[in-house]
Amino acid sequence: MSIPPPPGSQHPQGPYGPPPAGLPQAYRPYGTPVSVNALAVAALVLGVLCFLPAAGLVLGLIALRQIRRSGQSGRGMAVAGAVLSSVGIVLWAVVLSTGAANKAWEGFKDGAQGNESLSLEKGDCFDAPGGLEGDTYDVDRVPCEGGHDGEVFAVVTLPGGTFPGDAGITDVADEKCYALQDQYAMDTWAMPAEVDVYYLMPSRESWRYGDRAITCVFGNTEANTKLTGSLRGDPTTLDTDQVVFLSTANALDAALYEEPGKTPEDDLAAHRAWATRIHDVLGEQIDALRGRSWPADAREPVAALAEDMEDAREEWKRASTAGDVDAYYAHYDKAYASVDGPATVTARKALGLAATPPVSGEDEGGDSEAQV
């Protein structure tokens, strides 16, 4: 049985008398279990896991100091944690100095995402071992001069937040990629008939790791057939005259593409409004063509095209005020007769552009998608 210390005593009385002078003034009643220092445990855990080794070393040293003062147990754990953390610091220093940490993280990130869509940029050509249909888990960049599965013509970055779902991402891809294709390949007449638009889209899994890229890609619709050479035709590869001419042509094509879904019989008012928009766009394009000083060989062909466009513009104006469906169709047919007509072919030849009109429907393929 222990004897309690007398009131006001400087040193607590243990079962064998007061402690010798100079020793730590700690008192533990006889029979009380010795507690384990919590910092010693934490230091050992961090040392074993090699996680935050600097913190493990600091915790181990603090634990040793506390154990000496309090008489707690855990000295062996504190020493082991400090030693292991010291080794961990050395290993981390070696890894960081050799760049292995960055490589390891990139490897982990790519494996977790299951794709390389974030590394593809506009103008890149690549091979996809699994093809462009269905799920695509890996791509290999290759030179555009040789055969390749796809060519990136745009990359659209989605906002953050929760995963919008496959249908939501597809809707964005439909809207953005088709709107951007003519900025990369401006000469739509030069686009091969077998080329279509594909998407590399984030999957639910890759979204968790920060994948927000919709990669818009040109690919061949024929099975096991690759693209050869780049399809790029923009201000980086075309001269200024070609860019101006194609800009006017594409603006008109975009307006024509917005023709109402319903027939004139079902919604004549919508078609009249659309004819008005075509009339206005043609006016802008005619001004652009006539306001530029063209090369000598192209002046006459471009002037002739502008005259044809004036005639077409007048027909669109009449269609916009047609009193009935029959009158509308009469002016509509005359107006469309000048689209991609002989004057356009002649002007394109003079400017060194593709001169074979695309067959109807060839430049409007269905979209394809691949999740990455």
3-state secondary structure of 52: coil
pLDDT given for residue 297 in this prediction: 96
Mean pLDDT for 100-115 is: 48
Q: What percent of the chain has pLDDT over 90?
A: 53
Q: Which amino acid is at 55?
A: A
Alpha-carbon distance of 282 to 252, in angstroms, equals: 7
Token representation of residue 248: 């006017």
| Residue 82 Cα distances to 41, 72, 227, 339, angstroms | 11, 17, 60, 81
3-state secondary structure of 122: coil
Is the pLDDT assigned to residue 52 strictly greater than 70? no
Is the pLDDT assigned to residue 366 strictly greater than 50? no
pLDDT given for residue 113 in this prediction: 43
Q: How confident is the prediction for the chain on average, in pLDDT? A: 80
Query: Computed over its alpha carbons, how large is the radius of gyration of the chain?
Result: 38
Token representation of residue 207: 């979204």
Q: Which amino acid is at 306?
A: A
Is the pLDDT assigned to residue 229 strictly greater than 80? yes
Among 61-70, 88-97, 245-254, the minimum mean pLDDT is found in 88-97
Burial class (CB in 10 A: 0-12, 13-18, 19+), 162: exposed
Mean pLDDT for 284-308 is: 96
Nearest to 116 by CA among 30, 250, 211: 211
pLDDT given for residue 56 in this prediction: 62
Q: pLDDT-based confidence at 349, cuts 50/70/90?
A: very high
pLDDT given for residue 14 in this prediction: 45
Alpha-carbon distance of 227 to 120, in angstroms, equals: 17
- Count of other CB atoms within 10 angstroms of residue 259: 13
Is the pLDDT assigned to residue 50 strictly greater than 70? no
Q: pLDDT-based confidence at 131, cuts 50/70/90?
A: confident
Q: What angle do CA 239, 242, 247 make, to 5 degrees?
A: 125
Is the pLDDT assigned to residue 170 strictly greater than 90? yes
Token representation of residue 239: 């001269």
Start-to-end CA distance of the chain, whole Å, equals 75
Is the pLDDT assigned to residue 36 strictly greater than 80? no
Query: Which residue's entry shows tokens 């990139």?
Result: 106
pLDDT given for residue 300 in this prediction: 97
- Count of other CB atoms within 10 angstroms of residue 98: 10
Q: pLDDT-based confidence at 31, cuts 50/70/90?
A: very low
| Residue 25 Cα distances to 4, 14, 19, 47, angstroms | 15, 11, 8, 31
Stated pTM of the model? 0.64
Q: Mention every residue, 6+ apart, whose C-beta is less than 8 A from residue 57.
A: 43, 81, 82, 85, 86, 89
Alpha-carbon distance of 140 to 211, in angstroms, equals: 18
Alpha-carbon distance of 32 to 230, in angstroms, equals: 82
Kindly list the strands in the beta sheet with 368-371, ordered across the sheet, starting from the edge strand earlier in the chain.
134-135, 368-371, 195-201, 213-220, 150-157, 125-127, 140-142
Q: pLDDT-based confidence at 133, cuts 50/70/90?
A: confident
Q: How many residues does the chain have?
A: 372
Alpha-carbon distance of 39 to 93, in angstroms, equals: 25
Is the pLDDT assigned to residue 9 strictly greater than 50? no
pLDDT given for residue 286 in this prediction: 96
Is the pLDDT assigned to residue 124 strictly greater than 90? yes
Q: Mention every residue, 6+ apart, whose C-beta is less than 8 A from residue 208.
A: none
Alpha-carbon distance of 7 to 206, in angstroms, equals: 70
Among 43-47, 126-130, 232-236, 249-253, the minimum mean pLDDT is found in 43-47
Alpha-carbon distance of 179 to 172, in angstroms, equals: 11
Contact, 113 vs 205, CB < 8 A? yes
pLDDT given for residue 370 in this prediction: 57
Summarised one tens digit per residue, pLDDT across range 238-270 is 999 999 999 999 999 999 999 999 999 999 999
Is the pLDDT assigned to residue 114 strictly greater than 70? no
Domain ranges of the chain: 38-98, 116-228, 240-339
